[in-house]
Structure 1
Amino acid sequence: MLRVEHVDAGYGDVQVLWDVSFKVDAGEFAVLVGANGAGKSTIMKTISNLVQPSRGEIWFEETRLNGIPPNRIIDLGIAHVPEGRQLFPEMTVRENLELGSLTARAKSHRKQSMEWVMELFPRLRERQKQLAGTLSGGEQQMCAIARGLMSRPKMVLFDEPSLGLSPLLTQDIFRLTHQIHQEGLTILMVEQNVKQTLTICDRAYVLTNGKIVMEGKGRELLENQEVKEAFLGI
């Protein structure tokens, strides 16, 4: 479904990604793991064309994404749930969710999508008239995920969904991402919670200094000694 081929990217004169290549098959739950500053979020932004690659190609199904504006990428079926949630704090929960369904492929299904995300996140139904900026951290993350789902995506990019959350809320977020995957969506997730992430994913890629240095099934990498030493302190 997604192919990233020999991508270099960065910010101005600072190169962050070096010859990055990987793929995500339809129906997979794939993850990118790595230390802070490894380039994980830059990969997500490059897929969404918030950062333009200086070299290489990115393909989604049969469409080359290079040069396509971010709003068009959403309409193709990729939803990006960004690091830090990036909600509109002075708008209500419901208004934030409605903003997720402005694309052509989503607008006609807004009512059904709204009911679906309210069923997934009952807490948002209770708080739908509340300003998003007054929600707890966990509730804001749920709202950000639900807003992404309102675009009726084929694939969801999750960038650090557990960032800043308590261990209990982190478990809730992982449970919900697993449930979303079970409902048929393809997922690519960036996470620092390496043990939890490798436990639930189908395929994982390890990123170091902007380069993919290892790949494999999640549970296989969980038993890899290099991964244990680098990320799990074992």
Structure 2
Amino acid sequence: MLRMENVNAGYGDVQVLWDVSFEVKAREFVVLVGANGAGKSTIMKTISSLLHPTSGTIWFEDQRLDHVQPYHIIDVGIAHVPEARQLFPEMTVLENLEMGSLCARAKPHRKESIEWVLDLFPRLRERRKQLAGTLSGGEQQMCAIARGLMSKPKMLLFDEPSLGLSPLLTQEIFRLASKIHGEGMTILMVEQNVKQTLAICDRAYVLENGRIALEGKGRELLENEEVKQAFLGI
């Protein structure tokens, strides 16, 4: 579904990604793991066209994405749940959800989509009239995920969904991600919480200094000695 081929990218004169190539197949749950500064979020920004690569190509289904405008990404069916949530704090939960359904593919289905995401996140139903800025960190993350789902995407990009959350809330977010995947959603997730993400994903890529260093099935990488030493402290 998604294919990145020999992508180089960075910020000004600073190159962050070096010949990065990977793929995500339809209905897969794939994670990118790596230390801070490895280039994980840069990959997400490049897929979302917030950053254009200096070379290489990005394909989603049969469409090339490496030099399109960011609004085109949502039109083709990719929703990006950004790092640090980035909600509209002075708008209610319901208004934030409505903002997620403004694209042409989603707007006609707004009413049923709202009911679907509120069933998926019962806590948001309880707080649907509350300002998003007054929600707890975990509730804000749920709202950000729900807003992404409102665009009726074919694929969800999660950028550090556990950032700033307690271990208990982190487990809940991962449980919800697994549930969404179980309903047929294709997911690409960037995470620092290596142990938990490798346990729930189909496949994973390990990023080191802007390059793909390892790839494999999630649970197989959990047993990899390099991964154990680098990320699990074993």
If the TM-score is normalised by the length of the shorter chain, which range does it land in? over 0.9
Work out the CA distance in 2 between the residues paired with 1:70 and 1:99.
16
Written as runs of structure 1 = structure 2, the 5 A alignment for 1:1-234 is 1-234=1-234
Task: Quote the Cα distance in structure 1 between the aligned partners of 2:177 and 2:75.
Answer: 21
Q: What's the CA shift for 1:78? A: 0.3
**Is the partner of 2:106 in helix, strand or coil?**
helix
For 1:109, give the aligned amino acid: H
AA in 1 matched with 2:12: G
For 1:81, give the aligned amino acid.
V
Distance in 2 between the 1:195 and 1:177 partners? 15
CA-based RMSD = 0.5
| TM-score normalised by the chain length of structure 2 | 0.99
d(CA) in 1 for partners of 2:68, 2:170: 34
Q: CA offsets per residue over residues 162-202 of structure 1, 9 Å max, x none?
A: 11000110010000000000000000000111000000100
Task: Provide Cα deviations, 1:52-111, integer angstroms capped at 9, x if missing partner.
Answer: 100000000000002211111101100000000000101111111100000000000101
Q: Which amino acid aligns with 2:202?
A: D
Q: Give, as a single letter, the amino acid of the residue that structure 2 aligns with 1:147.
A: R
C-alpha distance in structure 1 between counterparts of 2:102 and 2:71, whole Å? 10
CA distance in 2 between counterparts of 1:71 and 1:95 reads 20
Deviation at residue 211 of structure 1 after TM alignment: 0.3
Residue aligned with 1:83, SS: coil
Q: Percent identity?
A: 80
1:144 CA drift (Å): 0.3
**CA–CA separation in structure 1 for the residues paired with 2:116 and 2:42:** 30
- Structure 1, unmatched stretches of 5+, are none
Counterpart-to-counterpart distance in 2, 1:13 and 1:97: 38
Query: Using the alignment, how far apart are the partners of 1:224 and 1:127 within structure 2?
Result: 43
64-73 or 120-129: bigger deviation: 64-73
CA–CA distance in structure 2, aligned partners of residues 76 and 108 of structure 1: 16
Per the TM alignment, residue 29 of structure 1 is displaced from its structure 2 partner at its CA by 0.3
Matched residue count: 234
